[in-house]
Amino acid sequence: MSDEKPPQLVDYFVVAGLAEASRALEEEQQPRPARPGEPITDVAVIIRSQGEEVPQGFTCIETSTSGHPVELNAGLLNNPQMFLCYKRGRDKPPLIELGVHYEGKDRPKPGYQILDTTPYSRSANLAAGSPGHQRTFLTFRRAAEPPGHHTLGVTDICLVIPSKGESTPHTFCRVDKNLNTSMWGPALFLCYKIAVAKDNTLVYEAGLLSRYPEQDSESFPLPESVPVFCLPMGATIESWPVGTKYPLPVFSTFVLTGASGDKVYGAAIQFHEAFPRERLSEAQALRLGLLSVVDRRPVPGRSLHTRKSICVLSHWPFFDVFRKFLMFIYRYSISGPHVLPLETHISHFMHNVPFPSPQRPRILVQMSPYDSLLLCRPVSSPLPLSGASFLTLLQNLGPDNAVALLVAVLTEQKLLIHSLRPDVLTSVGEALVAMIFPLRWQCPYIPLCPLALADVLCAPVPFIVGIHSSYFDLYEPPRDVIFVDLDTNTIFQSEERKLLSPRALPRRPCKVLLASLHSLSQQLDELLSAPGEEEPPELVLSDAEAAGARRAQLELEARAAFLRFMACALRGYRSFLRPIAPAPAPAGRDAGSLFALQGFLRSRERAYQRFYGQLLRTQLFTQFIEDCSFASDREPCLEFFDTCVDKVQVDLEKPEDTPLMELDDPRGGEHTVFITPPEQPAGPDGAEPPARYRYDGFPTLRPELLEPPRDPLVAQLCQARSSAPSSPAPRRTKQEMKVAQRVAQKSSAVPELWARCLLGHCYGLWFLYLPTHVRAAPAKLRALQLAYDVLRKMEQHKVVLPDEVCYRILMQLCGQYGEPVLSVRVLLEMKRAGIVPNTVTYGYYNKAVLESKWPAGTQGGRLRWAKLRNVVLGAAQFRQPLRQRQRRSAAGDPPGGQAPPAPRPPLQRQTTWAGRSLRDPEPGPSPRLVKSGSLSFPGSSRGEGETRAGPPLLPVTPTPAPPRPRGPPGSADGSLSDIGTDESGGDEPGAGPGAGGVTPRRGLAAKLQQLLSPGKRPSPRPAESPREPPGTRRGSEQRDGDPPSRRSPAETLLRPRERPESTASESSVSLGSELDLSDASGGSTGAPKSTEPPMDGTAGTEPPALEVLLSSCSRCPGCAGLVFDEELMAGWTSDDSNLNTSCPFCSRSFVPFLSIEIRDFRQPPSPPGAGPVPPSPQGPVLSDRRRCLELDETPELCNGCADTPPPGRWERVAFAYLSPLVLRKELESLVENEGGELLARPELVDSHPIIYWNLVWYFQRLALPSNLPLLLLGSQHAPRDPQPPEPSRVRVRLLWDVLSPDPESCPPLYVLWRLHSNIPPRLHPWGPPAPPFSLTFLEALLSHVGLNEVHKAIGLFLDTLAAPGAPRTLHRSIYRELLFLTLAALGREHTDIAAFDRRYRSALGKLGGALGRDELRRRRAQPPSAKATDCRRTFGAPPEC
């Protein structure tokens, strides 16, 4: 397990303020406009035509912003000459809002006062000169008393005339009601500015006062600029009048972006505290108004204060949680006394509050008896983590301005966002960079810019900067910037920097976006304006939770609206990506070489060429193309965007019904972790300790009072899964997992698709293991070529892959081992399969091609040597016939005559009982059967054909071999049947009686007649047998001129023939055979099965070091029925977390098990009392054919092995049998947590046995190469031997039937057939056979099956089960009993399982009318389902029974 720490909620706690080294900010930039003085406290209207003068202390507005004369009612006929006046001061609360009221039309707003009279008690009706017009008055709203020093107020008023070309000044609010209500005269509008009107303030750059922890973290050191972000307007020293109310703490957020693009979120609160006057110099006291200018005497009635900030830094935008915590810390510092110091609460929150995990998604932190906060895990989203709030964006700007800003961001303009609310700036700034997903802003981005960094506004590059609106009271802003005022919902554009109109955007996507935003804005207004009636506290709490959930839903819909627009705008972009196919040029990373810019531009409509032309020239689009072309950390996000592009329909004028974003909200879990407050120390004698901690201001943190971290608690609560150092290529993205889950759900309803879905996940398992296999392979290129061949074979068999992980892993390995050409071939294979690579796969492909070393363009000597080799080989082929003619002439051939060429023994499909196929000619005299099935003889010095004696023996370091097609050469049925040569050695020199008397193969009729009566043993074979003539053809060839003998099944089975003298009657499911029992007619789409000898080069004559027997046959706990492998597969569900399957008989869900028997031939026999030792499944393979046939005549021996326990140690275990979907999810989790290196270590067997044994089963089932069986040699199942045999080998055998039968159950029919044939079964603990199951009964069943009268066989079986003495419980279905019996008696080569299934279903239909389908099902006569049949056809049946 990696030692990486779990995610930490808070990284640093910082205290910022006025430090000793702080420098003044206001003296640096000169000149600057005058700071606004006192706020406006009163407004008045005077009528100069009535002789009214401007009141004392008031200022009259006589001109507009551009100097035009203005009168409030200039359009009236009598023109009473009314003017607006205002007054500044601090004697009363300032005005905070102005308005215009139309009497009779508008309803008075609460809190507003109507200015209805002049200072001289005349009517202030602005339409007084026209009796027919409605009465119009000015209104204002005043701040609450007593006013604070930092209270917002109206600081300036102006009048604008739009018809004169005047517009609303920057940072001014405009009242959208015309003051001139007459038909004559220009329109006149009132504008006012809101700001913090304060004086007697000194501004300094903020410094670091204290921090915790004091040491920097290696992964994230504390940035030096954090203090200036905590106090963006600087650390101030302010002089207040005595009695001024303290302002409330101001919450602000900011974002720091590292060099790698990682974001760090900060949350801070700013507050004021007293500042000692002794620390001021005389100059500072003069500027603060504390000393008189003339005589320098102290001014009474003034108090001194400074501004501080406390802040937390985190990689997670939990702004609400951090605000509650910081407010609690601030209130704790100004109250008291307390028992615990402030440092205890800070360290407790940082160390003991864990990050929410999937297991514990809710963390309830009790900070005090009255303060608590709830921390919920972030919503799992494929989008990048962000602190954006699209609702805040809509609330402050509206839908139209939001779309205008979208155009500005996409075309990389200079954006300056400002507001008087610093907490809003970060939310809106994050929304601006999030709305352009998947594009990523590449230019400077500072959502909350401090005054100390305001120089960035003069940068000649695009930027997105947020700043406090008071910046404009201090400095003159640049002219080429687009200003966004969040307080007035306005966008100011200069003449130098004009935005593209939203009409330049694609019409239909933009129309849908605007409609969605207008709808969301209306819903948000309804949510915010909901009436707050008096309700019980519990209802108020529930309503708050419902409102929070509603806001979260609206936030998701707003983000999805922008995502849909971007998907429509960039639709089809993947078809213009240019893969790097040849050797890359030095400018391989240039956007023009990676993307067809002009082709993409021509694919857009002509009306939108201007917008797309500017978009393609931006840095964000260039970076987007590089992210799509090369492997990066944004691959999951880009892959998710590709799925959104596939979902959207550009021509629609409304959003699609299918949501683009399907988020998994983990907060719905009920598991909540409760974090208690810090424990108070116990006083003497158990009394409560005294409260001795009181603070005059926020203190400097004392390290001795900080609690040490308790990492075990945090690790236990977090249970975070660390990332392993393995490559990210094997991992599926979250979107790929969701797509695979949906595909599995659809496939589960279609039998053929379900089988192929399972097979695709099995191949995905092997490709997850492929990096481990390639690392262990001595020839890397050969192993990669093997994987490529497997991909091609999968394409040939139309294997449905749920994702692109197989191709992606192979591409990554090609890049890792320097094979770019093979990577190109893999990409071409993907295109040939109709798969368009997603962003993740495409990135790994380009990385492999770009970073690998390409071969030289000219092969040089290598090519010339290859040409020379071909010439030499061609000349040798031409000379070969001449040499043969010379040999025949030297042997004395008659002149003019040519001797016939010696016939070569043909290859044919091997049968298990040495009989001919249906195409064999009539046998010659003295027929004799020879053994070839249960004992597969290796090649000997006599030249006999080699066959395999069992599953391949895996060497210590196997060399991967390319897959080979199943079946005999030239056969395309894809079965797992072995390829064998004719074992008749009559034409071999020296093959006589001493060599084992080889005879020609008999016809099928005699063999079946022998098999139907195995109880009668023939007499021992004679010592000699006639040899076959040298020219006789064998195998599946037909003699020239001899027509093939065709007989009906009845004639074949019932025609009396002479019984063979050999006793070798065996079946395809006999012990030791490795023949495929899969459906030969349908073929198998599994991986090819190698037919070559064992890879270690041995002949297989010595037993392996370990032999493993695997069986998936499981017993249902409900009905005690045996459920076989294909039925288990059919019962699995598409849920990748569900281990259960369903019983085909009782429909009960249960967990199937994989039974394993491990036999260690290196150890001595088990001591007495250690348990029974099972018999050996196969004796030693003998190369002497005569000795093998003599062993058959010995009753105590079977297959050349005595009926005694084999020497060695054995062990039986069982583990859960997992669906490929479940196994893949677990394997991905294992690789992610513990690394792929674990798959190559023996610890895998002991620490993760379920995953290990399931992988061994599936890889062996599909004949995919792996080193997993060899890991047993170092596990606890095989104790290490100080001197292990060389070479150490492990043989794995897969069984179809049970591994450990019930001793009390009756043996199945195929076992009874073997018992009647004097062939001991593989398993001994069978119970006594039932009396009705006699040899005559078995022969009758076989006769009915051979005559295609399967319904009679079923009826006979049912009648026999009802007879006295029959077993009460039938563990296997009637179908399974008849199928296994047929395979055991007739052999796999002469049994078509697909044809048997058809006949069985037809027979069941005949019996259904008489007995009823329910009765047949109750008596377990139904065949496997269509899904189970297709699973068997797709995977193939396990080789052995």
User: With 70 as the cut, is the pLDDT of residue 494 above it?
Assistant: yes
Q: Output helix, strand, coil percentages for the chain, rounded to the nearest 5.
A: 35, 15, 50
Is there a contact between 307 and 205 (Cβ–Cβ < 8 Å)?
no
- Burial classification of residue 1195, based on how many CB atoms lie within 10 Å of its CB (0-12 exposed, 13-18 middle, 19 or more buried): exposed
- Burial classification of residue 1043, based on how many CB atoms lie within 10 Å of its CB (0-12 exposed, 13-18 middle, 19 or more buried): exposed
Query: How large a percentage of the chain has pLDDT more than 70?
Result: 71
* Nearest 10 degrees: Cα torsion 240, 243, 248, 249: 50
Task: Give me the pLDDT at residue 229, please.
Answer: 92
**pLDDT band at residue 1041 using 50, 70 and 90 as cut-offs:** very low
**Whether residue 460 has a cis bond before it, omega within 30° of 0:** no
Tell me the residue ranges of DSSP E strands in 176-322. Answer: 189-196, 201-204, 207-212, 235-241, 250-257, 263-274, 302-314
Task: Give me the pLDDT at residue 1436, please.
Answer: 80
User: With 70 as the cut, is the pLDDT of residue 302 above it?
Assistant: yes
Of 381-385, 443-447, 721-725, 1304-1308, least confident by mean pLDDT is 721-725
Closest by Cα among 335, 368, 373, 371 to 679: 368
Is there a contact between 1231 and 732 (Cβ–Cβ < 8 Å)?
no
* Nearest 10 degrees: Cα torsion 397, 398, 401, 407: 100
Closest by Cα among 568, 618, 570 to 411: 618
447 vs 985, higher pLDDT: 447
Residue with tokens 């208690």: 676
The pLDDT tens digits of the residues spanning 717-739 come to 443 333 333 344 567 777 778 88
**pLDDT band at residue 148 using 50, 70 and 90 as cut-offs:** low
Is there a contact between 212 and 701 (Cβ–Cβ < 8 Å)?
yes
Task: Give me the pLDDT at residue 983, please.
Answer: 35
Closest by Cα among 1426, 1293, 1311, 1436 to 1372: 1311
Task: Give me the pLDDT at residue 1288, please.
Answer: 59
CA separation for the pair 1008, 1019 (Å, rounded): 19
> Parallel, antiparallel, or unpaired: how do β-strands 1149-1150 and 1141-1142 relate?
antiparallel
List all residues 6 or more positions away from 794 whose beta carbon is below 8 Å from its beta carbon: 763, 801, 806
Q: What is the number of other CB atoms lying within 10 angstroms of the CB of residue 356?
A: 25
CA separation for the pair 1150, 1217 (Å, rounded): 11
Residue with tokens 């930092």: 150
User: With 80 as the cut, is the pLDDT of residue 633 above it?
Assistant: no
**Half-sphere exposure in the Cβ direction for 836 (13 Å, CA):** 12
Element at 1245 (helix H, strand E): helix 1243-1247
CA separation for the pair 137, 100 (Å, rounded): 6
Is there a contact between 1289 and 1096 (Cβ–Cβ < 8 Å)?
yes
User: With 70 as the cut, is the pLDDT of residue 854 above it?
Assistant: yes
CA separation for the pair 1020, 1190 (Å, rounded): 9
**Whether residue 709 has a cis bond before it, omega within 30° of 0:** no
Is there a contact between 139 and 101 (Cβ–Cβ < 8 Å)?
yes
Task: Give me the pLDDT at residue 659, please.
Answer: 78
634 vs 821, higher pLDDT: 821
User: With 90 as the cut, is the pLDDT of residue 404 above it?
Assistant: yes
∠ CA 307-308-314 to the nearest 5 degrees?
145
Please tell me which of 959-963, 1191-1195, 1381-1385 the model is most confident about, judged by mean pLDDT.
1381-1385
Task: Calculate Rg over the CA atoms of the chain.
Answer: 44
Task: Give me the pLDDT at residue 1205, please.
Answer: 45
932 vs 166, higher pLDDT: 166
Tokens of 264: 């760090």
734-747 and 751-776 helices, crossing angle to 10°: 140
Closest by Cα among 1326, 1356, 1344, 1355 to 1386: 1344
User: With 80 as the cut, is the pLDDT of residue 951 above it?
Assistant: no
Task: Give me the pLDDT at residue 1280, please.
Answer: 66
Tokens of 49: 């035509």
- pTM, entire model: 0.68
User: With 90 as the cut, is the pLDDT of residue 515 above it?
Assistant: yes
Tokens of 463: 């930027």
Q: How far apart are the first and last CA of the chain?
A: 41
Q: DSSP class of residue 1070?
A: S
User: With 60 as the cut, is the pLDDT of residue 989 above it?
Assistant: no
Q: How many helices (H) and strands (E) does the chain have?
A: 35, 37
**Whether residue 146 has a cis bond before it, omega within 30° of 0:** yes
**pLDDT band at residue 527 using 50, 70 and 90 as cut-offs:** confident
Closest by Cα among 1293, 1350, 1347 to 1322: 1293
**pLDDT band at residue 1176 using 50, 70 and 90 as cut-offs:** very low
Is there a contact between 1355 and 1407 (Cβ–Cβ < 8 Å)?
yes
The pLDDT tens digits of the residues spanning 800-848 come to 787 888 888 888 888 888 888 888 888 888 888 888 887 778 888 888 8
Q: What are phi and psi of 189, to 5 degrees?
A: -125, 145
Closest by Cα among 1003, 1013, 915 to 1343: 1013
CA separation for the pair 419, 442 (Å, rounded): 24
User: With 90 as the cut, is the pLDDT of residue 1423 above it?
Assistant: no
**pLDDT band at residue 58 using 50, 70 and 90 as cut-offs:** very high
User: With 50 as the cut, is the pLDDT of residue 930 above it?
Assistant: no
Is there a contact between 195 and 233 (Cβ–Cβ < 8 Å)?
no
The pLDDT tens digits of the residues spanning 1392-1405 come to 888 888 888 888 87
Of 731-735, 1084-1088, 1246-1250, least confident by mean pLDDT is 1084-1088
Task: Give me the pLDDT at residue 1187, please.
Answer: 35
User: With 50 as the cut, is the pLDDT of residue 1038 above it?
Assistant: no
Give the chain's mean pLDDT: 74
SS3 673: strand
Tokens of 197: 């009107």
CA separation for the pair 801, 743 (Å, rounded): 10
CA separation for the pair 1428, 1401 (Å, rounded): 14
List all residues 6 or more positions away from 869 whose beta carbon is below 8 Å from its beta carbon: none
The pLDDT tens digits of the residues spanning 529-548 come to 765 444 455 444 456 667 77
Task: Give me the pLDDT at residue 1356, please.
Answer: 84
Residue with tokens 């991909």: 791
**pLDDT band at residue 149 using 50, 70 and 90 as cut-offs:** low
∠ CA 90-96-101 to the nearest 5 degrees?
125
Task: Give me the pLDDT at residue 60, please.
Answer: 92
Q: DSSP class of residue 725?
A: S
1101 vs 796, higher pLDDT: 796
User: With 60 as the cut, is the pLDDT of residue 952 above it?
Assistant: no
> Parallel, antiparallel, or unpaired: how do β-strands 12-17 and 207-212 relate?
antiparallel
Q: What is the number of other CB atoms lying within 10 angstroms of the CB of residue 1413?
A: 14
SS3 40: strand
Task: Give me the pLDDT at residue 1417, please.
Answer: 67
Please tell me which of 466-470, 959-963, 964-968, 1173-1177 the model is most confident about, judged by mean pLDDT.
466-470
CA separation for the pair 98, 175 (Å, rounded): 8
Please tell me which of 7-11, 200-204, 420-424, 1138-1142 the model is most confident about, judged by mean pLDDT.
1138-1142
Task: Please compute the mean of the pLDDT values over residues 1046-1058 and round it to a whole number.
Answer: 36
Tokens of 841: 């796969």
**pLDDT band at residue 987 using 50, 70 and 90 as cut-offs:** very low
SS3 191: strand
